Amino acid sequence: MKQLRTRFRLLTLFVIGLLLVAGLYGVYSVTIYGSRWFSNSKNTRYQNAKSSVIAGDIMDRNGVVLATTDAEGDRVYQSNLNARSAIVHLIGDRDGNVANGVDSFEANYLLGFETSLSERVAALLKGETRRGDDITLTADSKLCTRIVSDFENGSKTKGKSGAAVVMNYKTGEVLALVSLPVFDPQNITADDQQNPLHPFWNRALQSTLAPGSTFKIITASSALENVPGISTYLFTCTGATQVLDQTIHDYKMAQHGSLTLEKAFTVSCNNAFAQCALKLGDAALRKTAEDFGFNDNFLFRDFVVENSVYPTTNRNLVEIAWSGAGQSQIGATPLHMCMVAAAIANDGVMMEPRLLARVQSPAGVVRLRYSQKVYRTAVPANIAAIVQGYMKNVVTSGTGTAAQVSGLTIAGKTGSAEASVNNEAVTHAWFVGYIADDSLPYACAVLVESGDSGGGVAAPIAGDIFQYLKDTYGK
Amino acid sequence: MRNSRDQRRPPSRRHPDRRLVAAMMLFYFSAFLLIALKGELRWQGFALAVAVPALIYIATLWLPRFFPADKLLLAIANFLCALGVLVLYSTDLDAGTSRGLQQAIYYSFGIVAMLICILLVRYVRHWKFLIQIIMVGAAGLLVLPLAIGTEQNGATNWIHFAGTSVQPSELVKIALLLILSYYMSRRQFWVWLLFALFCLGVLMLQKDLGTALIYYATTLFLFYASTGNLPLTGVGLLGGAGAAVLGYEMFAHVKKRVAVWQNPWLYYETSGYQIAQMLMAIASGGLFGVGLGLGAPRVIPVYFTDCIFAVICEQFGIVFGILVLVMYGILIVRGTSIATSARHSFYALLAMGATVMLGIQTFVIIGGVLKLIPLTGVTMPFVSYGGTSLISCMGLIGLLQGVASLNQDDLEYDYEISHSLGEELRLPRADRD
């Protein structure tokens, strides 16, 4: 019987342990994912709350009211069609087609779920309908409108899908986040619903695409960190490097001859970077990519972002070689690539992108103030400084000259990523870059899907963004 | 030589739990009253505000006058039963259902079932013939749904007669425990093994995989407890794992469940809807819940049985949800202490089996709701809507209380002997195996 009792106690410990695990897991998942589950556009609860609470207003950094509630309790956006369409993916729409717009993702503030008991009682005594909190964003709606008009009026970008993100690389404030095509949040048409380009989709946060040559920022950082003497090493580019049974070729089959890493970065030579990736090996390159946030579970406070992927499986030499140029199953969102450029600009420190500048209750209680947060340190400052130089060369004399703005030092990297859409080979145009100026610390990422050349199609849009930033925020 | 009656009693037969029960009764009285007064006046709410505390009183303070009982265990089981009634009644509001009232009636049936099980364990002395009858009866009852049953949620485990529906596999749980502990304590290996395998086979045929899991785990754990034979337990574990893999490969709906568990949002429009809705409900509740009778529990499919924990979390918050888990934990600890104080291995195994069964079932359903493990369709003990489930859970509590009352009798017997011998009070734990 004594042994029986010992075994009983063991069993009990086991079962109690199971319940403990369940409880801990419950608390863990509610604290980590709770707000994401709650603000899911499929959740009908906060839509029900709309009948008893007047949703708060959303304003941009300059006080422009982006969304408010009318007498019937419906959401009203800006009166200008272009203005309200440009920012639709950031804010959301009436029918909840956009996932995780501020209107739904921050519903706990907007619909007064954060209101304290005393505030609720006070409102009850006054007999008023409860009002949710007002939110001020870090975004600049004019900039969003300008980017969308750049896309829609550019001869090479017209009618194409894409995305652009602008952020302050020192503080993490997101100034613009647009996804193309846009639509009118107040008047959703059948065309919007049937559009094969899926306008409801927020590409800046949800689509992970091959970053193409913009990934060379990471390959170069990794090489500078891990391969001694790489900055003086001479690569040979014959236009075709043979790896196993495949040939690594360059964009438009260019031949660059003998060149250094710096030169290879400036002209975006795939052959040199393929050799670079093979020198590094998969593990070292993956390590650097993960330092930049690849394969991490992004749990940013203000954004729901698709995770970026650097494959963790065993891969053959061809795949590793192509990884140096950001191909072969590597995927990243425009927001993340903007963060990559921002990290280099900020001497290797990657800030968490943030959108809420301020949350204030109708009675004037400030519930949240902007606070910046370091997401991670991507590369040592000395290596970031070298890559900064490389990126400046790209804009002054390399593939990204179209992003130049007179009076500003611009740094950047172009990308022309090969992908297949509906079994058809396409090339996505990328540009990531930043203003190398402490008084204008802004980075941006531009993606034009099926846009072909990053330098020719995406870089001009980035140039216009920098121009706007200079005109608006420059001295 | 005898002192006054009160002094003769060991201290645990007094009522240290009266305050606890009074607080429980007050809690439920005010909770039902709150709902009854919300908006319009509801007579059902007033009736329940009186009836539920009355049932709690009867089960936790009045019944134990007739035989010794573990009152903390009783109090917790009744708290959970009443919680089920409360949550179900709160979801009835403006929905045109009357599950709360129905559950209160089931609750009273449950108390009767508990009483029957207490009497059974306490007064039956010759089990051999009775066990054989129970075995035949249970086997017959279990196969009945295959012949005349109806399919619900993909499993054929219900029978309907005389206007009510019964889930035999729930009732057979009690029979399974009696049979397992009887034959295990007599080391008649093949009898219980064949019966357990038969039950598992029938449950597989009925595609009632959640219940099969509970039967399987209880049998395996009791086997380990009774013999301590780790190699054979390992074989049983491997067999179970093999069956799980086989089930995964064979049944399409098992595969789907696992896929849904991994990412319910991908399958939101179809099979992931339930889990996604539960997660949203839990998240909406936050730490302290949206409040009794509020929230939107009815958007969750089967919110009244499998998913009721999500409804509790939405209304009362995850903190309360964890407290409910803690209550199950205390229930298990008390059950184990009853099992370890039993003098005969039959009663010890019976008490342990009931405890393990409740514990496993709690883990399977709450783990499923919290997305720790794939969701299987079992009820949350004491709380889920359903007569059969409540009756069987209260029956398990009855078994535990029966063993507890025998333990108490044994202690008193020892006490009297030592007293009459003029010795100091000692509480020996002599084995009577």
Across the beta sheet with B164-166, the strand order is B150-152, B155-161, B164-166
Bigger pLDDT: A118 vs B389:
B389
User: Residue A349: which residues within 8 A CB-CB, separation 6 or more?
Assistant: A343, A374, A377, A378
Range of the domain at A386: 206-353+375-473
Whether residues B284 and A38 touch (CB distance < 8 A) is answered with: yes
pLDDT of B162 reads 64
pLDDT of B427 reads 52
pLDDT of A31 reads 85
Task: Give the minimum alpha-carbon distance from B432 to chain A in angstroms, rounded to a whole number.
Answer: 9
Are A106 and A431 contacting, i.e. CB atoms less than 8 angstroms apart? no
Among B331, B340, B347, B403, most A C-beta atoms within 10 A, so best to mutate, is B340
Are A402 and A463 contacting, i.e. CB atoms less than 8 angstroms apart? yes
Whether residues B329 and A19 touch (CB distance < 8 A) is answered with: yes
Whether residues A8 and B340 touch (CB distance < 8 A) is answered with: yes
pLDDT of B237 reads 92
Is A427 within a domain? yes
Is A360 within a domain? no
User: Residue B380: which residues within 8 A CB-CB, separation 6 or more?
Assistant: B305, B306, B308, B309, B361, B362, B365, B366
CA pair distance B324, B77, nearest whole angstrom: 11
Task: Give the minimum alpha-carbon distance from B367 to chain A in angstroms, rounded to a whole number.
Answer: 5
pLDDT of A190 reads 86
Find chain B residues with C-beta within 8 A of A42's C-beta: 268, 276, 280
Is A345 within a domain? yes
Whether residues A7 and B228 touch (CB distance < 8 A) is answered with: yes
Find chain B residues with C-beta within 8 A of A9's C-beta: 336, 340
pLDDT of A39 reads 76
Find chain B residues with C-beta within 8 A of A29's C-beta: 370-371
CATH number at residue A332: 3.40.710.10
Closest-CA residue of B relative to A48 is B296
Task: Give the minimum alpha-carbon distance from A116 to chain B in angstroms, rounded to a whole number.
Answer: 12
Residue A209 CA, chain-centre distance (Å), reads 12
Give the E-state strand segments of B243-361 in sequence order. none
User: Residue B140: which residues within 8 A CB-CB, separation 6 or more?
Assistant: none
Q: Kindly state the percentage of chain B with pLDDT values over 90.
A: 51
B176-186 pLDDT, tens digit each: 999 999 999 98
Whether residues A7 and B355 touch (CB distance < 8 A) is answered with: no
Could you give phi then psi for residue A369, rounded to 5 degrees? Answer: -120, 155
**Is the pLDDT at B267 greater than 90, yes or no?**
no
User: Residue B15: which residues within 8 A CB-CB, separation 6 or more?
Assistant: B61, B71
Tokens of A350: 């990657």
Residue type, A260: T
pLDDT of B404 reads 94
**Is the pLDDT at B433 greater than 80, yes or no?**
no
- CA-derived radius of gyration, chain A: 25
Task: Give the minimum alpha-carbon distance from B255 to chain A in angstroms, rounded to a whole number.
Answer: 22
Closest-CA residue of A relative to B283 is A34
**Is the pLDDT at B355 greater than 90, yes or no?**
yes
A297 interfaces chain B, CB cutoff of 8 Å: no
B213 interfaces chain A, CB cutoff of 8 Å: no
pLDDT of B431 reads 43
| Cα dist from B229 to B220, B223, B236, whole Å | 11, 8, 11
Handedness of CA B168, B173, B174, B179 (dihedral sign): positive
Find chain B residues with C-beta within 8 A of A18's C-beta: 359-360, 363, 367
Is A167 within a domain? no
* Count of A-B CB contacts under 8 Å: 121
Evaluate whether ipTM surpasses 0.85: yes
B360 interfaces chain A, CB cutoff of 8 Å: yes
In the three-class reduction of DSSP (H, G, I as helix; E, B as strand; rest coil), residue A68 is classed as strand
Which residues of chain B from 240 to 279 reach within 8 Å of chain A, CB to CB? 265, 268, 276, 279
In the three-class reduction of DSSP (H, G, I as helix; E, B as strand; rest coil), residue B281 is classed as helix
Work out the number of other CB atoms within 10 angstroms of the CB of residue A382.
Answer: 11
B334 interfaces chain A, CB cutoff of 8 Å: no
Is A346 within a domain? yes
Whether residues B283 and A8 touch (CB distance < 8 A) is answered with: no
pLDDT of B432 reads 41
Is A142 within a domain? no
pLDDT of B228 reads 87
Is A121 within a domain? no
Residue type, B62: W
B210-222 pLDDT, tens digit each: 899 999 999 999 9
Are A361 and A119 contacting, i.e. CB atoms less than 8 angstroms apart? yes
Cis peptide before A181 (omega within 30 of 0): yes
**Residue A273: which H helix or E strand, with range?**
helix A270-291
A120 interfaces chain B, CB cutoff of 8 Å: no
Task: Give the minimum alpha-carbon distance from A369 to chain B in angstroms, rounded to a whole number.
Answer: 22
Mean pLDDT in consecutive groups of 10 residues from the start of chain A, 475 residues: 87 95 92 80 70 86 91 86 92 84 86 75 75 92 94 90 95 94 89 87 92 95 92 85 76 81 91 91 93 91 91 87 89 96 96 94 88 93 95 93 92 90 87 94 95 90 95 87
pLDDT of A250 reads 76
CA pair distance B4, B1, nearest whole angstrom: 10
Among B333, B370, B410, most A C-beta atoms within 10 A, so best to mutate, is B370
A12 interfaces chain B, CB cutoff of 8 Å: yes
| Count of domains forming chain A | 1
**Is the pLDDT at B2 greater than 50, yes or no?**
no
Is A408 within a domain? yes
Whether residues A29 and B370 touch (CB distance < 8 A) is answered with: yes
B95-152 pLDDT, tens digit each: 778 889 999 999 999 999 999 999 999 998 888 899 999 999 999 999 888 877 776 6
pLDDT of B15 reads 56
Whether residues A33 and B366 touch (CB distance < 8 A) is answered with: no
**What proportions of chain A, in percent to the nearest 5, are helix, strand and coil?**
40, 20, 35
Bigger pLDDT: B175 vs B43:
B175
A26 interfaces chain B, CB cutoff of 8 Å: yes
Which residues of chain B from 300 to 319 reach within 8 Å of chain A, CB to CB? 313, 318
CA pair distance B243, B249, nearest whole angstrom: 10
Among B262, B280, B407, most A C-beta atoms within 10 A, so best to mutate, is B280
pLDDT of B339 reads 94
Mean pLDDT of B31-45: 86
B329 interfaces chain A, CB cutoff of 8 Å: yes
Mean pLDDT of B374-400: 92
Whether residues A45 and B322 touch (CB distance < 8 A) is answered with: no
